[in-house]
Chains A and B, each alone.
Chain A
């Protein structure tokens, strides 16, 4: 495994009143990767980010960033950590460029107008630099949030639901921005509701629910381990039962015998191969089917399955 940039061990957060938002979270983030943290509302995603970024006081566990204990070296370590929160939170009456300069200064960076211009141009905000933030559209305001987070050139960037509520075009645009950041060596941890986003962007995926990490793995490995192929063979006349020659496959009949359903595979192509074999066997034996409908399970299917089986551990 490459050098970890963030190492979280046994992280706990219990709020007053007894609500346990984080329940012994162990998570290691590799340098230079894009890590997607998936989970339903209230799963603990934002609390986890808050614990690393200083908004939440953990009640247990250890966080190490860049190889150092964050609770002891928070001041020097936070210089290299950036955060784009979920909510649009800034002084709405201020100008775009002033807010970005403010963020850079607050993180201890010297004034650098060239860098500010570069950040604003990369987010298509340069033309709006002297606009009052309240005059901008929702999508542009979200870009301002990102510009503020990038102003101090963080090495580790948290994006909490970065594309929530933005249109498709802007979402794609932000994905390109995230990709560009990765190419510059920035490690990115993003939380999202959009599984498509994790599929598109992430190197690794973690699933969190009820304050516990259920699964962490490479996206492709998750698809291989938990991905499934589903195929529906349809017939005009119902089958009496599953043909003897097909007994070794994971098949069952639905819709009164007019639909033979295959569910299997492991995300590596095994499912597709078995579907092809089943079709060849039926053709060879003269079992006439009238249609085939196949689909590969998405990360979303896997995510939903995992949430329904919370006993799965990382």
Chain B
């Protein structure tokens, strides 16, 4: 038996079913949270703000908020998806089944990424209720959203394998991802920052992610767009490499 397509699909389907079973926490909660951002920053405050790089402020924050949701949801969904079987002991089935790294990633990470895409679609549709925006490069935007979802789902998968408690599961999203995203130009252009803060901001990798998505929306970028895509792709490959190593060595999987 080579690639176990049925096995990969079974995991994928099971993960999506789990998501729909907890639809409030999985879908409604992030959509409501993001909608509140649009109401407060887009509709209420945004009207009093100047345009940023020729884009109305309410529209300007759409890619940033979308990125905030993509990063946190992709990470938490994938990490929770693999952590729960570890926590309940049900991981035995995954380890004893004829599924390897490819099937596991397609199943768990694929489901987390698909969920993020569904969320992104809902959030973009919801945003239209509060602000006007258009997407300059829709295909590239879709591709980039897909790339970021897959990358951070892989990152979340690693996090879920690494975590040995629910507290550890929350540490990275709460103490690392969310602050970096807020400071990564979600609500502002880093060109608005005075030196040395602008230079310091360039060390924040999230800046490049937000910047990349913003470029697909508005056709303009604060940093080199090739660098944004390149860094995201590099992070994706690093995550795949780490997961392949985990499966090869059995780290945190097999005793």
Contact = CB atoms under 8 A, between A and B. Distances in A.
Interface of A: 15, 50, 53-57, 74-76, 78-79, 81, 83, 85, 87-94, 98, 101-110, 148
Nearest to A88: B89
B92 A85 contact: yes
A167 B250 CA distance: 37
B96 A57 contact: no
Contacts of B95: 53-55
Contacts of B89: 85, 87-89
B9 interface: yes
B98 interface: yes
B51 to A, nearest CB: 48
A76 B10 CA distance: 17
Contact of B98 (A55, A78, A91, A104): A78
Interface stretch (B11-19, B109-117, B130-138, B232-240): B11-19
Interface residues of B, number: 31
B119 interface: no
Interface string B220-255: 000000000000000000000000000000100011
A57 B254 contact: yes
7 contacts: A56-B254, A76-B98, A89-B88, A93-B21, A102-B14, A108-B1, A108-B4
A55 B92 CA distance: 7
B97 interface: yes
A50 B250 CA distance: 13
A81 B90 contact: no
A90 B84 CA distance: 10
B94 interface: yes
Nearest to B88: A89
A78 B88 contact: no
Contact of A92 (B4, B88, B93, B254): B88
Given A57-B254, A110-B6, A89 B96 contact: no
Nearest to A21: B255
Contacts of A103: 93
A109 B254 contact: no
A79 B1 contact: yes
B90 A90 contact: yes
Interface string B70-104: 00000000000000110011111111111110000
A98 B95 CA distance: 19
